[in-house]
Amino acid sequence: MSLKDLISPFYVWQRAFEKPYTQKRPIEDRPGAPRYRGFHMNSEDCIGCGTCESICQNRAIDMVPVEGLEQRPGDSGLRPRFDYGRCCWCALCVDICTTRSLHLSNHYAWVTEDPDAFHFTAGTDPMPWNENSLGYRRDDDYHLLVHDRIEMEMLGPDESVRGFDEVMKGYTEEQAVLEADRCVECGICVATCPAHMSVPDYIRSVRKRDYETGLRLLYETNPFSSTCGRICTHRCETVCVMGYQGDPIAIRFLKRAIVDRVPAERYREILGDDVSDNGRTVGVIGAGPGGMSAAYYLRRLGYGVTVYEAQARAGGMLRYGVPSYRLPDDQLDKDIDYIRSLGVEVRFNTLVGRDVTFQSLLDTHDAVFLAVGLNQPSALRINGEEHPRVLSGLKVLDDVANGLDPGIGRKVAVIGGGNVAMDAARVSRRMGAEVTVLYRRRIEDMPADPDEIHESQAEGCTLVAQAIPVEIKPAASEAQVTIVWGEAEMVADDKGGRPRPVLQEDRMHEETYDCVIAAIGQGGQIDFIPSDYREQIEFKWNKFVPGDYQQTGLAKLFVGGDIANSRADAISAIEDGHHAARGIHRFLGGSADA
């Protein structure tokens, strides 16, 4: 022991002269750091997808309905309720939150006597920290989810415009698995899908590469999976939670990824072909998606089904309205052939009202499902539209599908902004024409698929927005036609509707084309129904208004498809068919549930 060792410890006294370290008021003086992981806050952006609940390893989060909050497609109406007897403040829920609505405040003190009090619904319950602006937020450069969609290989516009080859090439297996992996399996999309397909489940089967299960899941709600995997309007993707911070999951193409990997020969083996016969029959008018869907589910239930189709081939608008670069014929056949292979009889070239009467159908069948679709082009309602060079979009598509030459010429104007207009424009491009599309509102208002709009532009169609056709005039040549159109200004609607285009009379244009293709919508044709029956049935705007289970006032008659719903797309028609099949089964005394 040295003297130094004895004296050295007294050095401690030196610190006695330092400023004290003590916090005067420890609780008030020390708020959490700006990044502190304190108590939860939830903003109005929350849609109740429940992803926070699924990542919570402590089961600290419950999804509960909140009073005064209405659910709507894309919002489940549930909100996360936290149990602070479980939470560990890892903030994984914040990191995973698909809408970035969930945050943590830097508030950290909660003391009470009641152990059951530590439950609260973040954002809606009045908590003292709700106005807190500091606290943990996910860093912009840190992700637990994959926000970018896996790109699908597609024909370039230079190539695609040259023929009718399918543009979207479909995902490879690896791509499909990667895309499916992005899904958080919240199920928000199921409510929005008109057919309520079990989207998360079949996406999971893509991820697991289990295509047999996937196919079975698809056929539970949709017998046109190959078709819908290509041309569905994919309303599901508009509400996909992944779309809030990145791209929505390519749900449509993942459906296609399943059917692309199951050859048609294996359908009967996977889906089963044991169909019984219960002795009753149902007549279906129209072999479009609605009719064939009803036929499929009715056949599965054991009904004998006869489909009456005016055209020579089945598929309806899918066949004659959708060009083959979007939906190749063989893919449509894949779906239809399987349905027919179950014993559904299709009578082609049989127009109800011409070849067979509506009454005879009612007499021969126990029930009738009507899905004739909209096959009458709407009129432009402007002067001169009866000019022979004014063609209808449907007619053009129909001719092309039947292998006929629609005779459109080299310079074409398409009027309209829907999918039929886009199809007509793109088909015309493929026939070698120079195409201008005239649409009365803005491009973002177009009802057509954004993809379609984008691709048609890429293929060289000129889109002229805010252009209102005013008059059709004969041109110098008989093979040509002149259209007069005026520019429009968008005027906000006083009643809160979407902005209206208003014609600017001083800015008129006149242009001559080889033909004008009108594609502004279609109407239905139901003259074949006797008028005394029609009186029993409810109509609105020349469309059916079906009751529960697609039933009409004429008890034996069920309706569906474009002529009975406002959405007018394939997937809605398919659901109508499925729903009607349930209804018919109920009506004919099947199971009470059905």
Partner 1 sequence: MFEPTPQVDLSSGKYLKLWQGPQHPGITGNMALELTTMGDEIVDCKTHVGYLHRGFEKLMERRTFIQNFPIVCRIAVPEPTFNEYLYAAVVEELTGIESPERAEWIRTLNLELMRLASYLMWLGGIGAAFGQGTVYQWTVTHRDYILDLFEEMTGARVYHMYIVPGGVRGRLPEGFEERCNDVLNRVEKLLFDVEKVLFNNFVFKKRTKGLGVIAPEMVDQYGITGPNQRAAGFVRDLRRDAPYLVYDQLEFDVITATESDAYARSWVRYQEMHQGIRMLRQCLERTPREGPFQARMPNVLHWEVPAGETYVKAECTRGEYGYYMVTDGSEYVRRVHVRGPSYTHAIALMEKLAVGTNIADTAGLMVSLHTYPPEIER
Partner 2 sequence: MSTATDLLERFGTNYRISEVNEQKADLTFFKVPKDQAVRLLRELRDDAGYTHLAFLTNIDYIERGIFTLNYMLHNYDTRHTLGMHVDLDRDNAEMESIHNMWAQAATYQRELREMYGIRFPGSPRLDDDFCLEGWDQIPPMRKEFDTAAFSLARFYSRDGRGTEDPREHMKQQLYPTHTDDAPEGGN
Partner 3 sequence: MKDMDKSFKKDTETEFPLREEMRPHQVTAPDGQVIDIDPLQDYFCQEPPKVHAKSYFKIVEDFYNWARAHSLWILGFGTGCGAIEMRPLMTPRFDAYRYGIQWRPTPRQANLLVISGYLSVKTLKRAIRAYEQMPAPKYVVGLGSCTINGGMYWDSYNTINKFDEFLPVDLYITGCMPRPEVLMAGVLELKKKIKEGRADGANRYVENFEWYKANQKRVIKNWNMPDYNW
Q: Which residues bind partner 3 (CB under 8 A)?
A: 20-23, 26-27, 30, 32, 57-59, 83-89, 108-115, 118
285 is a site residue for partner 1 (CB under 8 A): no
> How far is Cα 299 from Cα 308, in angstroms, rounded to an integer?
15
Measure the CA–CA gap between 545 and 537, rounded to whole angstroms. Answer: 8
Q: What are 245's two structure tokens?
A: 């911070």
Nearer CB in complex with partner 2: 62/511: 62
Q: What is d(CA 28, CA 99) in angstroms, rounded to the nearest whole number?
A: 33
Shortest distance in whole angstroms from residue 251 CB to partner 1: 15
Instruction: Look at residue 84 and give the partner it binds from partner 3, partner 1, partner 2, none, a contact being a CB closer than 5 to 8 Å depending on partner kind.
Output: partner 3
Smaller CB separation from partner 2, 204 or 426 = 204
312: contact with partner 1 by CB under 8 A: no
Instruction: Classify 440 as helix, strand or coil.
Output: coil
Should residue 183 be labelled a site residue for partner 1 when binding is judged by CB under 8 A? yes
Q: Report the residue from 43, 54, 130, 462 that binds partner 1 according to the rule CB under 8 A.
A: 54
CB 85, min distance to partner 1, A: 16
Given the DSSP bridges, would you call strands 390-392 and 515-518 parallel, antiparallel or unpaired?
A: parallel
Angle at 291 between CA 327 and CA 450, to 5 degrees: 35
Site of tokens 């705007």: 541
Choose from partner 1, partner 3, partner 2, none: what does 64 bind? Cβ within 5-8 Å by kind.
partner 2
Q: How far apart are CA 96 and CA 73, in angstroms?
A: 21
Q: What DSSP state is assigned to residue 67? A: T
Site string for partner 1, 75-114 (x = CB under 8 A): -------------xxxxx--xx-------x----------
Q: Which is nearer to partner 2, 190 or 483 (CB)?
A: 190
How is 19-55 classified by DSSP, letter by letter? PP---SSHHHH-PPPTT---SEEE-TT-----HHHHH
Q: Is the dihedral angle over the CA atoms 580, 581, 582, 586 positive or is it negative? A: positive
Nearer Cβ to partner 1 (106/551): 106
CB of 33 to partner 3, least distance (A): 11
Shortest distance (Å) from residue 135 CB to partner 1: 8
How far is it, in rounded angstroms, from Cα 588 to Cα 416? Answer: 43
- Class of residue 316 by CB neighbours under 10 A (exposed 0-12, middle 13-18, buried 19+): buried
Contacted by 216, from partner 1, partner 3, partner 2, none: CB < 5 to 8 Å by type: partner 2
Q: Which of 204/280 has CB closer to partner 1?
A: 204
How far the first Cα of the chain sits from its last, in Å, is 96
Among 29, 113, 116, 141, binds partner 1 (CB under 8 A): 141
| Rounded least distance, CB 20 to partner 1, Å | 11
> Residue 125 binds which entry of partner 2, partner 3, partner 1, none, with Cβ cut-offs from 5 to 8 Å by kind?
none
Q: Give least dist CB 366 to partner 2, A.
A: 15
Q: For residues 298 and 481, which CB has a smaller minimum distance to partner 2 in the complex?
A: 298
In three-state form (DSSP H/G/I as H, E/B as E, the rest C), the secondary structure along 529-578 is CCHHHHHHCCEECCEECCCHHHECCCCCEEECCHHHCCCCCHHHHHHHHH
8 binds partner 1 per the rule CB under 8 A = yes
Q: Is 67 in the site for partner 1 (CB under 8 A)?
A: no
* β-strand pairing of 119-121 with 78-83: antiparallel
The identity of residue 74, as a single letter, is G
**How is 314-326 classified by DSSP, letter by letter?**
S-THHHHTS-TTT
Binder of partner 1 out of 25, 57, 133, 265 (CB under 8 A): 57
How far is CA 355 from each of CA 102, 109, 295, 310, 585, rounded to the nearest angstrom? 63, 80, 21, 9, 28
Binding partner selected for residue 146 from partner 3, partner 2, partner 1, none, CB under the kind-specific 5 to 8 Å limit: partner 1
Q: Out of 86, 143, 347, 586, which residue is the one contacting partner 1 (CB under 8 A)?
A: 143
Q: Interface residues with partner 2 (CB under 8 A)?
A: 48-50, 53, 61-65, 71-73, 76-78, 83, 85, 115-116, 119, 186-188, 190-191, 196, 200, 215-220, 223, 271-272, 296-297, 300-301, 548-549, 578-579, 581-582, 585, 590-591, 593-594
| Cα–Cα distance, 377 to 395 (Å, whole number) | 9
Q: Which of residues 270 and 379 has its CB atom nearest to partner 2 in the complex?
A: 270
Give the torsion through C-alpha atoms of 119, 122, 128, 133, to 10 deg. 150
For residue 340, the minimal CB distance to partner 2 (Å) is: 14
Amino acid at 16: A
Q: How far apart are CA 353 and CA 567, in angstroms?
A: 27
Q: Tell me the C-alpha distance between 445 and 439, whole Å.
A: 9
C-alpha to C-alpha distance for 120 and 137, rounded to whole angstroms = 20
Q: Which two tokens stand for residue 478?
A: 């008989």
Q: How far is the CB of 404 from partner 1 (least distance, A)?
A: 48
9 binds partner 1 per the rule CB under 8 A: yes
Q: Which residues bind partner 1 (CB under 8 A)?
A: 1-2, 4-6, 8-9, 11-12, 14-15, 21, 32-37, 51, 54-55, 57, 88-92, 95-96, 104, 136, 139, 141-146, 181-185, 204, 207
